[in-house]
Chain A
Amino acid sequence: MDNNKTADLISKPLNVVNIGLEGFANELKQQDVSTIHVDWSPPAGGDPKIADLLSKLGT
């Protein structure tokens, strides 16, 4: 696989986008890992029909 970018992941400084449990982000920040926490909420307030359309329409 020529385009396997996993080598980049394991050779460059880790820089994390955390979505979900905030504790994970806090622990990473404690270890001085660059981390940005997403203040996430379910798309469309959790409406499954809208969420389904959104996933098909892409954002």
Chain B
Amino acid sequence: MSSVIINEVRPGFYLDSVALMRYSKSIAGLDGVEEAAMMMASPSNRQIMFDAGLLNDVSAGAEGGDLIIGIRACDANTAEAARAEANLILDQPTTSGQGETWRPKSIRAAVKASPDANLALISVAGDFAAAEARKSLRRGLHVMMFSDNVSIADELSLKQEARELGLLVMGPDCGTAIINGTPLAFANVVPKGGIGVIGASGTGTQEITCLIAQGGGGISQALGVGGRDLKDEIGGITTLMALDALDADPDTRHIVLISKPPAKAVADKVVARIGASKKTFTVCFIGATDWDLPANARFASSLKTASEHALGGKALFANFNANAIAKPASAAKVCGLFSGGTLCAEVQTLFINAGLTVMSNAAIPGVDALSENSTAHTIIDLGSDEYTQGRPHPMIDPSVRDQALATAMADPSVGIVLVDVVIGYGAHEDPAGHLVASLGASLSGSTLVIASVTGTDGDPQGRLSQISKLETAGILVAPSNADAAELALACLKLAG
């Protein structure tokens, strides 16, 4: 069967050649069409169409200002259909006018486009984070480095450069900050108020800011410094800058400092800086039992106590009575599975203070490293590196905890499974729902599950609605992480 050529001339119809090439391509792509072109009838275009076998007598009289539609197809019907389609396109040439929105590929371009930018939030892979932070500083941005796996040498040089420039580097591995009421990365919606928080720990800052909110207080700023800022190598550069800033901030009345116990020399500098301030402080070094502090500062060994100090000594959740809701544990061992590192540390502190033997993959002083066949209570930080290499953090993807939960629930030596549920910006959209679904039928067994929810009702997930999901499923819910630990202890005690 031979091909059919159809020509049509549209006199005086002008379209740009680029537009015509695009339309030609779509007609040539129709089923059964061998070749198609729409071109202005200039001599050179006519030659091109002739060479392509697209011209017949119909277009012989076409002149430069005319448009030729040339179609070669397998049969007449197909050719006619293609011609109709071509005319349709020509008469309604506008496609979507919606251009893709431009997105900068570099910090340089972003700052150019947004000259009032004042903070870079960096969460790229650790290998690249320091370079991006350096670029941000050179463009005058303060930096919050959510990224981890940044070398301590890079951290030091970044913080030194930042200090020269008067800029703050929060992090690396800074999960949480609240600046001017805006939660950044993993953070919660809390009211504005007079309490400033400086945290080397993300979940520690989350728990304290949420507990303060539940106690009726508010937060002026929550600045993260990164987990290593108070080590000797870094020397507390960011902590000291944050202290200066909050000390000078008229909206900050009281300052809470949260960290693991710092290096001695760094602690001395920080404590001296605190002593030089006219404001009052709460210092919470999780894992330490006490610390020598100046008169304007009080020590707290747990996040809950720190929150109470910050609230001026107000007791939190006075109506909560662990003994009243405790049930006897079916076996002697507690297995804690935490997504928040500092929540994990707080439970360890409370357990060893109660005289229990504890082991952990993220052991605080006085706690053993993990070992097989030990009868010690096991308190695991699922956010630590060995669980998150190449995987999302359990606060983003709670399924990281699923396997460990199933194992613990099936272990006859475990009587209590203790967990945290962290909500807020950055976190999973429904961690309580996920936890309940993951536990499934194991919830009807004899193992007790105890949880607390770190968050507020202002958070997208809603604290009360998360608690209600847990309670409906038969999980015992305490109002704070520390209270959850107390509840576990009460359940152990009931079991004798």
Contact = CB atoms under 8 A, between A and B. Distances in A.
A1 B146 CA distance: 25
B107 A20 contact: no
Interface stretch (B32-40, B241-249, B334-342, B439-447): B241-249
B160 interface: no
Interface in B124-171: 124-125, 127-128, 130-132, 134-136, 138, 141-142, 146-147, 163, 165-168
B426 A23 contact: yes
Contacts of A27: 425-426
Interface in A1-51: 1, 3-21, 23-25, 27-28, 31, 33-34, 36-43, 48, 51
A38 B110 contact: yes
B142 A6 contact: yes
A19 B109 CA distance: 12
Contacts of A15: 114, 116-119
Contacts of A38: 103-107, 109-110
Given A17-B107, A19-B120, A33 B182 contact: yes
Contacts, number: 147
Contact of B244 (A6, A21, A25): A6
Contacts of B96: none
A36 B166 contact: no
B492 to A, nearest CB: 39
Contact of A1 (B110, B141, B244): B244
A28 B183 CA distance: 8
B122 interface: yes
A42 B179 contact: no
B128 A24 contact: no
A17 to B, nearest CB: 5
- Chain A binding site: helix, strand, loop or mixed by DSSP? mixed
A3 B165 contact: yes
B84 interface: no
Nearest to B248: A7
B159 to A, nearest CB: 13
A40 B182 contact: no
A18 to B, nearest CB: 5
B146 A5 contact: no
A40 B136 contact: no
Residue of A12, A16, A37, A54 contacting most chain B CB atoms (<10 Å): A16
Contacts of B132: 19, 40
A33 B118 CA distance: 12
Contacts of A25: 121
B118 A21 contact: no
B104 A8 contact: no
A39 B103 contact: yes
A11 B122 CA distance: 21
Interface in B221-253: 221, 223, 241-242, 244-246, 248-249
A57 B30 CA distance: 52
Given A19-B120, A43-B128, A59-B108, A34 B245 contact: no
A42 B138 CA distance: 19
B180 interface: yes
A41 B135 CA distance: 15
Contacts of A31: 182-183
Contact of B116 (A3, A20, A34): A34
Per CB-CB distance, the 9 closest pairs between chain A and chain B, nearest first, are A20-B123, A3-B166, A6-B245, A39-B103, A5-B166, A20-B124, A21-B123, A36-B114, A55-B131
Interface of A: 1, 3-21, 23-25, 27-28, 31, 33-34, 36-43, 48, 51, 54-55, 58-59
Interface of B: 103-111, 113-114, 116-125, 127-128, 130-132, 134-136, 138, 141-142, 146-147, 163, 165-168, 179-180, 182-185, 220-221, 223, 241-242, 244-246, 248-249, 425-426
30 contacts: A1-B163, A1-B244, A3-B165, A4-B166, A4-B244, A5-B165, A5-B166, A7-B249, A9-B119, A10-B180, A14-B118, A14-B119, A15-B118, A17-B117, A17-B120, A17-B121, A18-B121, A19-B132, A20-B123, A20-B124, A20-B147, A21-B123, A24-B123, A24-B185, A34-B114, A38-B105, A39-B103, A42-B125, A43-B131, A59-B108
